[in-house]
Amino acid sequence: MGLDKAEIERGLLSLAPADRAIIIERGLLSLEDIDDVPQAEIDEAWRIEIERRVDEYVNGDAQLVDADERFAQRRARLAARVV
């Protein structure tokens, strides 16, 4: 591949958000081999994770962050990296 990581990142960040999301999702899926995992096992893992998160929230142990605030923080961090 003739592109370096910085070029790929600049190209990705220049895309519309929907296009970036599609490419990022494909990249993330390429890291996992979920075809070998039975759907029931995936569903059970998610059920356990959801239960854990709900319990954490109900017990007051969750540190909640406003989504808009978090997205703004992430955008600022990305902008600082891309110079």
How confident is the model at residue 39, as a pLDDT? 87
Q: What is the mean pLDDT of residues 34-53?
A: 90
Would the pTM count as exceeding 0.75?
A: no
Question: For residue 43, which of 51, 31, 55, 53 has the smallest C-alpha distance?
Answer: 51
pLDDT surpasses 80 at 24: yes
Question: For residue 39, which of 31, 47, 30 has the smallest C-alpha distance?
Answer: 47
* Residue 65, token pair as written in the block: 């962050």
How confident is the model at residue 41, as a pLDDT? 92
What does the radius of gyration of the chain's CA atoms come to, in whole angstroms?
Answer: 18
Tens digit of each residue's pLDDT (9 = 90 or more) over 4-22: 898 999 999 999 999 999 9
Q: Side chain identity at 81, as an amino acid letter? A: R
How confident is the model at residue 61, as a pLDDT? 95
Query: 42-51 b/e with 16+ CB inside 10 Å = b?
Result: eeeeeeeeee
* Residue 70, token pair as written in the block: 């978090």
Confidence grade of residue 83 (pLDDT, cut at 50, 70, 90): low
